[in-house]
Each structure stands twice: as structure tokens, then as C-alpha cells.
Amino acid sequence: MSMIGELKFFLAIQIRQSLHGIFINQAKYAQEILKKHGMTFCDSIGSPMATKHVNADLSGTPIDQTKYRSKVRALMYLTASRPDIMHATCYCARYQAKPTKKHLTVVKQIFWYLKDTIHMRLWYPKDTGFKLTAFSDLDHAGCLDSCKSTSGGIQFLGGDKLVSWSSKKQDCTLMSSTESEYVSLSACCAQVLWMRTQLTDYGFHFDKIPMYCDSKAAIAISCNPVQHSDTKHIDIRYHFIKEKVEKGIIELFFVETEYQLADLFTKALPEERFKYLARRLGMRCLTPTELEALANESA
């Protein structure tokens, strides 16, 4: 085995190590897709998606599906290090079958946002432990076409190292926000359990894993081992969370909506709120010069 030096690139992900932690980003890849799709000289904006919801736009002007899908696919790969564009990209992906000019404008907004945040990076600080925590949130009936809800889930190691994130439209239509939050909690719990299993192979054993949700009613349902008449219609596969709570593997906590970090993955937000949550997730916008200065300062 031979040493080939410090890891700096991996599958288009740029890695910068310092004494205090690690930065990862895909600035080079982002520049390439901006150039490929003719967005190099576009205007820049402060958030990737306007707060107004998008629908199927059935009467809109159709556009080339191949080009639309190419843009969405390029953005989807970028979400490997850019959780800030996860929700907007996944939302645009819903309309790949019959995209219109309206949908294309929304996709372009993500590119406009990228241009101004090309050096946005995820920061993984050193020596902050490996405690596993999670946040689950929901935008009830946010899809204008199907009235289905959008689930958002994030997982941290050490309390401040974001390692997993998702934004997904639920596959069932539920009658209340409580039921939707309960389903979202179950999905987040499934991801946490998978991570717990993986970390066990590395010698880390977790119980009473804290999961944060901003719905007291959904937490109450999850902590009640008895099947309630109000939730008996929910698919049985979502009820496994009750068992995990009862066994002490998962512990649920209420968090005020203001501090709900998964809010970024459920809906489009005002710019100020969006930037606040992005920073709380560990995202920093540093140019190569600023990063070099930080590394020299550490040395």
C-alpha cells in the first residue's frame, strides 16, 4: 500500500482539511453546470426558490423534457454537499414528465442562487463527539396538485455535523397535519435506525437517540403503544416507531417551530429565515482565498 497524500477530491466533491475540521463542497462541479446550461452570466438571488407554491401548470407552454431533466439531474448530484438546494431541486423533479416554462423558471432560480453561493461549503468541526440526533418536519398538504404533504428529515453526528438530509413528498394523503407529522417522524426514524446500525460496525452504540419534532400531538401518538381509533387508518408500516420509542431506542422531544432545523427541507422560505437555517446546518460561504487564510491561521 502506498500513501498518495491528503484527500482533496472524491467523486467531484472537494475536501479541505484544517486543524479545526473539514470543509466539503462542489464549487468546481457547480461552475461546470452553470457553464453547461448557459447560466454563467445570470443574475444572482438570495434563496433558491420563491415562497409561492408551484403546481402542474396544465395549461402552460410545454418545453423540451430532455433539457429540463438534464438541469434537474445536474442539480440533484449537487445536493450531495448542498442541502440548501435540496427542497427546491426535489420540488422541480416532480414535474419532469410534463415540464412547462413556469417550471423551467423555477429551475433557473436555483441556478441563479448557485451563482451567488458558488463557494458555499459544509463545515465539519473537529472533536465534537458522535452523538446521533435528528429533526423531522412537515409541510402539510403543500403539494397543490395532490394535496400530499412534504416530509423533511435531517440527522447530525456530534450535534452540529450534518450527515444526512432528505426532502420527499409523502406517498399517501392524510387528513390532518398531526397524521402527516406522525408519518414524517416514522420516515425519519427509519433513517436514524439505519445510521445506528451502520455506526455499530464502527464501535458506536446508541440508545435514547433524540429526535425533535414541532408537533406535540404527533409525539403523543408515537409514545402511545395502544392503537388509537383516530390513527387506525394509517398504513401499518408507519407504526413501528411506537415500538422503538417503547424500547428506549428513540426518544422524542418537542421543539418550537422557530428552532426546527428541518424546516428548510419542507417548503420555500423567506430569504432571512432560509439563510439562518442554512448557517445552523453548518453551511459557510468562503472563497478559496478566505479558506487559505483560515488554513494558514490554523497552522
**Pair (168, 241) in one structural domain:** yes
Domain assignment present for 58: yes
Q: 131 CB contacts (<8 Å, ≥6 apart)?
A: 157, 158, 159, 206
pLDDT value at 91 more than 80: yes
Domain assignment present for 2: no
CATH of the domain at 206: 3.30.420.10
Of 86-100, 189-203, 275-289, give the lowest mean pLDDT range.
Answer: 275-289
**Pair (93, 154) in one structural domain:** no
Structural domain count of the chain: 2
Domain assignment present for 255: yes
Residue 227's pLDDT band, with cuts at 50, 70 and 90, is low
- Residue 130 and residue 107: Cα distance in Å, rounded? 36
Classify residue 59 by its DSSP letter: T
Average pLDDT score over the chain: 91
Domain assignment present for 269: no
Residues 238-277: b if buried by 16+ CB within 10 A, e if exposed: bbebbebbeeebbebeebeeeebbbbbbbbbbeeeebbbb
Residue 234's pLDDT band, with cuts at 50, 70 and 90, is confident
**Pair (47, 145) in one structural domain:** no
Give the structural domain span for 96. 9-122+283-298
**Pair (106, 134) in one structural domain:** no
Give the whole-number percent of the chain exceeding pLDDT 70.
95
Domain assignment present for 3: no
Classify residue 146 by its DSSP letter: T
Judge whether 24 and 80 are in contact, CB under 8 Å.
no
Region 221-247 average pLDDT: 82
E strand residue ranges, 1-149: 9-10, 13-18, 21-25, 120-125, 132-139
**Pair (99, 139) in one structural domain:** no
